[in-house]
């Protein structure tokens, strides 16, 4: 089981070198790709203005033979070329690079020209390394889906459970979060949570334990849950936290970083091949972990959809 970011890096290295397509790379992307190549994770495949990329590579002492360069001066075309390369197998992973976040996500989700696929929902999961014990937790969706419907939540949860299994958690335990632990018809998140928990009970998520609704104190503390009359193997030992919507998801993801000092890395799930986004509160060191995680996903047959 992979219990830390270091475990992810180690496992990814053992899986062999992957080809990372990077459209319109900025200096920070070239530096990151250089670090990832140096760690034995990837071979960078830069797509963009050759002159600019060569200068950036030279600045971080990345030798010409250690990367591929696909000339494409038009930024929009560079992004599409990078995605096409990944879709057709010429590359294994795509990095956001210099593409604008909105453009990148829209292009990524396209079923024809990007990495979206029919029946799959593209979602985002934030991983955290616990500080007091060796364990990784997953929080989803923290970036991509604004107000997911019940069906979309089902897919978001399924995506995260699949990643949890990839990390070696045989029977992942999921908390479907809401404001309160009781089912209250006035609070829609509690209804969705109850339905998802029932689906979990009927094995609709495969080998997993899904509990909900759970408020955060019940999810985090078995003792607190017990005092509220909630008795479940999930309480106090959650692997996957499913949030109700993006206000909660994104702010929770940030709160764990800024108030908790927790290290975080993220992954795009539900695509046919792995992609790596750039979030403002992920450090460069942890972006390396994101590439390693994408490499692990690629090694397991491509995407996570």
Partner 1 sequence: MIRSLDDFERQAQEKGPKKMAVLAPEDEEFMLAVKKSWERGYIEPVLIGDEQRIAQAAAKAAFDLSPFAKITGGDLQGISDLGIQMLFAGTAPIAGKGQIPTSYIYRSIIRAEAKAGSGMTVSVVTFWEIPGCDHLVAFTDTGVNIIPDLKAKGEIIKNAVFAYRLLGFPRPKIAVLSGQREVGGRLASYEDYEALQKAAAAGDFGPCEIVAATSFTEIFLGGRDRKMDYRRLPEAALPHILLVPCLDTGNIICKLDFFLDVNRSSLVATSRGPVCIPARSDFSDNIVQQIAMCVVLADRMGKEVL
Residues at the contact surface with partner 1, assessed by CB under 8 A:
101-102, 105, 143-146, 177-180, 182, 184, 186-187, 189, 215-218, 220-221, 223-225, 227-228, 243-252, 254-261, 263, 280-283
CB of 17 to partner 1, least distance (A): 27
CB of 145 to partner 1, least distance (A): 8
182 conformational bin, left if phi > 0, alpha if psi -120 to 50, beta if neither: beta
Q: Which is nearer to partner 1, 261 or 301 (CB)?
A: 261
- 3-state DSSP assignment of residue 154: helix
Distances (CA, A) of 57 to 43, 62, 288, 296: 13, 5, 17, 26
Tell the residue number behind the tokens 């419907």, with chain if given: 149
Q: Which is nearer to partner 1, 71 or 247 (CB)?
A: 247
CB of 40 to partner 1, least distance (A): 25
CB of 139 to partner 1, least distance (A): 10
Among candidate residues 40, 33, 284, 1, the one with its CA nearest the CA of residue 165: 1
Q: Which is nearer to partner 1, 169 or 277 (CB)?
A: 277
CB of 73 to partner 1, least distance (A): 25
Q: Which is nearer to partner 1, 94 or 296 (CB)?
A: 94
CA-to-CA distance for 140 and 70, rounded, in angstroms? 34
CA-to-CA distance for 277 and 262, rounded, in angstroms? 19
Q: Which is nearer to partner 1, 45 or 267 (CB)?
A: 267
The DSSP bridge pattern shows strands 93-95 and 123-129 to be unpaired
| 92 preceded by a cis bond (ω within 30 of 0) | no
Contact present, 72 and 101 (Cβ < 8 Å): no
Supply the angle between the helices 150-166 and 188-201 in degrees, to the nearest 10: 50
CB of 61 to partner 1, least distance (A): 21
The DSSP bridge pattern shows strands 123-129 and 264-269 to be antiparallel
Q: Which is nearer to partner 1, 14 or 146 (CB)?
A: 146
């Amino acid at each position: 089981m992979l219990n830390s970011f270091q475990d992810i890096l180690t496992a990814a290295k053992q899986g062999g070198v992957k080809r990372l397509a990077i459209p319109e790379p900025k200096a920070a992307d070239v530096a990151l790709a250089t670090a990832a190549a140096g760690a034995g994770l990837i071979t960078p495949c830069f797509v963009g203005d050759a002159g600019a990329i060569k200068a950036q590579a030279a600045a971080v002492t990345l030798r010409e033979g250690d990367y591929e360069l696909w000339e494409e001066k038009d930024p929009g075309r560079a992004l599409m070329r990078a995605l096409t390369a990944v879709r057709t197998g010429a590359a294994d992973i795509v990095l956001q690079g210099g593409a604008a976040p909105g453009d990148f996500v829209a292009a990524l989700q396209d079923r024809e020209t990007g990495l979206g696929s029919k029946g799959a929902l593209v979602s985002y999961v934030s991983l955290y390394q616990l500080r007091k014990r060796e364990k990784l937790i997953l929080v989803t969706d923290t970036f991509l889906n604004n107000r997911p419907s019940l069906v979309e939540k089902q897919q978001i949860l399924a995506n995260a459970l699949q990643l949890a299994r990839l990390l070696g958690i045989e029977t992942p335990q999921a908390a479907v979060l809401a404001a309160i632990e009781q089912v209250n018809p006035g609070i829609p998140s509690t209804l969705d949570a109850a339905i998802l928990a029932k689906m979990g009970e009927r094995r609709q998520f495969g080998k997993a334990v899904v509990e909900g609704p759970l408020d955060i104190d019940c999810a985090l503390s078995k003792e607190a849950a017990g005092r509220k009359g909630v008795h479940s193997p999930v309480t106090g030992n959650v692997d996957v936290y499913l949030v109700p919507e993006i206000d909660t998801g994104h702010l929770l993801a940030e709160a764990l970083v800024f108030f908790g000092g927790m290290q975080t890395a993220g992954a795009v799930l539900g695509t046919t091949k792995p992609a790596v986004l750039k979030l403002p509160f992920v450090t460069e060191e942890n972006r390396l972990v994101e590439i390693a995680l994408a490499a692990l996903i690629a090694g397991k047959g491509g995407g996570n959809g």
